[in-house]
Structure 1
Amino acid sequence: MTTLNILWNDLVATPRNVRKVKTGIESLAASMASEDGQIQNLVVIAREDGKYEVIVGERRRRAAVHNVKTKVWGRDATLRCELRDGKNATSISYAENAEREDMHPADAIRAFATLRDEGFTEEAIANRYLYDLAEVRKTLALAALSPKVINALAANRIDVACAQAFTLTDDHKRQERILKRYRTAHEVRRALTETKVTTGHRLFSFVGMDAYQAAGGTITGDLFSPKGEGYADDPDLVQRLVDEKLDTGVE
């Protein structure tokens, strides 16, 4: 690892930085302009055109730009940077940002999607960042949502609970149609399950999971149900099995 002082104008944002949702940088700019100066190094990778992509420290880069443009700093200002190999850029960015409480949920979701696309398995992500495997699985389920749903989360048009409700279908077009009409978890969940019956319903409990699936019934799982419940996709089959069981007098 090499440490360099790099001219502010030679530092550029990178799409590989997992933090996409921007927040204000004025207070950070003021802090960096104080006598304490830059406390943490940026992490960068070199580009062929002589510029450096900022993998960790994008807010610090933008704060530096702010200080130069407001003439708090001169145009010869430099930032202290650690030069890294570009192969693990997304992993490095996520590891640094995950430790900070103000990371937006949409950024974490997108980062997990990138890690998955780069070949990381659920187990590998869990082991690398010391997460529970079930939580990794849930975040990857959110990462599989339509980009329009994730963008709505990033823009705070919906909350995390609402995004979780969208995972009840993997049909992006359907997700996007529902997104145009509903903005709460209750509304989305109701729209996606209005033709289904919960596995916690008394009729389904009477039939039982084994009998339902043996008859060809399918289940839509709900990773985010606090009781681990899902939805039976064929309520007519549930009712038929209830009737048959009552007719035969089976308890």
Structure 2
Amino acid sequence: MRKPIIALGTFGGGITYAAVWTKILDIAFNYREINAGDGVFLFSLMFICFYYFGLYISAAIFGFFSKRQRDIAPSALPKLVYGFLGSFTLSFLITLILFLFVIKPPTIFFSDVTFYFIILSIIFILHVLVVRTAYEFETNKSSKYFIVKIATVLLVNLTLLLVVCINDFPGVNAPVEIRQKWAYEKFRYYPSIVCTIKQANQITDKVGQIKFAAPTRGRNLPVIIGGSSGPSSELTLEVVGEKGTGIAYITTWAGGVHGIYFEYQGKKTKITAWSTIGCEN
């Protein structure tokens, strides 16, 4: 009974770990424009990576704290049916998403079935290798060794996250002029979005004629779908006017403004009307 529990615990630990770090990725991945297909591919791939990091850590924890050698011996690993089937099922579903809807298989070299079989085989083999590696030194009960193993995986995990999330945004503390210039260069529909804000009377009545509108602390991730900005696109802009400064929370659709909330002097209100005349790209 203990082996299925260990298998389920290892698998569940991997899934939980992946879910938590994928959410962290979602928060940290910011200040860039991304194609919807690229986003699906990136987040799916990172979920798989996080899952294997979590799988390794979970297996290492069970191996370190297990009191019965036969529960964690490498010879018992092929019997961890639940963990293998769970990983295979998860890998299968993610592979379908990646390679049926995002990436087309290179049929010049492989048939579709062969290509998918190769991908699933690689994922499944990785599962086996990760668990075996985590259990490789199960007889070593050194706390120092255990901490080093966990710390190493966490360091690799964090490094990967930082590499994926790195961007050239000048920072929220940079002058508003620099941040605005950066946005004009990086975001496809930024000029029309700023133009729309400038023509929203509910905003100009509060801050006066708008001088600058620049990305600030918050969500700034326009998503491009087929050349248009999708419904998940969000911008958080510092709006500087002649009379004051506020924060505009904007959602976009088809490259134009879909919804606006404006925060001024601590009060956040929904903007109900704006003009797009003369704001087309």
TM-score when normalising by structure 2: 0.24
By percentage of residues, which structure has more helix? 2
Q: Could you say which structure has the greater relative contact order, defined with CA pairs below 8 angstroms and 6 or more residues apart?
A: 2
- TM-score norm. by structure 1 comes to 0.26
